[in-house]
Homo-oligomer: A and B are copies of this chain.
C-alpha cells in the first residue's frame, strides 16, 4: 500500500521555509503481529519542532534528513493485528507525518472522546496542556492574590497556563501579538489584562501599569525583549517557569540582550527550565485534572484548525509568525 509522507529536505538556517520539507510517496510494509494500520486524522504542529530541525544535542533527538517528520498525531485504526486495539479506535501517539502508517500498537494512547474532542489530545490534554499544567503547578505554584504574566499567552500552552492562574485566584496578564488575540484573552478566557507587544512601545512600562503589585510568576514561552520587560517587574521570590523561547528559535548564532541576572539575584528569583518529560509518571494526573476543569467549565480551549495533509508545513511555519490562536492543528 502506498501513502504520502513529508520528509525533512534541508536543515534550515534561520526561519524554516516550504523548501525545508519535501512530499514523497512511500510504500507501507505488510502488517505484522502487534501492529496496526492507521489513518491520520489530526496532526499537531508545535514550536519545539524548530529545535529538532537543527543537528544539535538537545533534550530530544534531531529530525533525520530525508526521513519523515514526526509529531503528535490523532489517528484512526483501519486494521489491527494487536489485541489492544480494534478497527475504528482513535489513538494518539508520536507518529510520522504520513497519511497512513503502520506502527506498533504499544506506545499508542487510546483516545477517550468522552473527556474531550479527539483533537484536544494534541492540545489541552496533550503536550501543550500538560506543559502548562506542570510548569504552573510544580514551578509557578500560584497563590491567590498573586500576579501572573504569560508570554505567548494566546498559544496553546499560554492559554492553559493563564487559566490555571485564574483558577488559583491570581491576577493574570497575557502578552500576545495582535489586538484580536489580546481581545480574546480578556473577553473569552478571563484574563485580567493583555498587552499587544507589536503595538506597545515601552513594554516595561506597560507591564508595570497592568501589574501594580509587581509580577510573582512569569510563565515564559517567548524570551527576548518581552522577557526583559517582564523580568524588570518581577517581585522578590518570583518564579519563572521557562517553557519556550520562540523569539529566539530561528536566530542564527546567539542573540545578545541585557544581562538580567542581577535582578534574579537581588530578588531571590527562581528560574527553572523544564519539559514535560521531567514529569513522566504524572501525565494521567495532568489529563485528569485538566479534563475535570474542562467539564466544570473552569477551563476553555481553542484551536486554529487548518484543513488538509498538504498544509502541515505551512501550518508549522505559521507558528513563528503568530498566525494561530490556541492550538495549531492540521485536520487531514
Q: Are B268 and A271 in contact (CB under 8 A)?
A: no
Tell me the complex Cα distance, A160–B16, Å: 48
Partner of A224, one of B220, B259, B260, B275: B259
Given A236-B59, A261-B227; A272-B273 close (CB under 8 Å): no
Most buried by B among A51, A272, A273: A273
Q: Are A265 and B242 in contact (CB under 8 A)?
A: yes
Min C-beta distance of A161 to chain B, whole Å? 15
Q: Cβ of A269 < 8 Å from any Cβ of B?
A: yes
Q: Are B257 and A242 in contact (CB under 8 A)?
A: no
How does the 8 Å CB contact mask read for A239-269 relative to B, with 1 for contact and 0 for none?
A: 0001111001100001111111110111111
Interface residues of A toward B: which range? 35 or more
Partner of A245, one of B51, B261, B278: B261
- Chain A residues 47-88 with CB under 8 Å of chain B are 51, 58-59
Q: Are B265 and A273 in contact (CB under 8 A)?
A: yes
- Closest partner residue, chain B, to A268 (CB atom): B273
- Closest partner residue, chain B, to A227 (CB atom): B261
Tell me the complex Cα distance, A265–B246, Å: 11
Q: Are B58 and A266 in contact (CB under 8 A)?
A: yes
Pick 28 A–B contacts, CB within 8 A, sort by A. A51-B266, A59-B268, A220-B261, A223-B261, A223-B262, A224-B259, A227-B261, A242-B264, A248-B259, A249-B262, A254-B258, A254-B260, A255-B259, A256-B256, A256-B257, A256-B258, A257-B259, A261-B273, A266-B273, A267-B273, A268-B273, A268-B274, A268-B278, A269-B272, A269-B273, A270-B270, A270-B271, A270-B272
A residues neighboring B (CB under 8 Å): 51, 58-59, 220, 223-224, 227, 236, 242-245, 248-249, 254-262, 264-275, 278
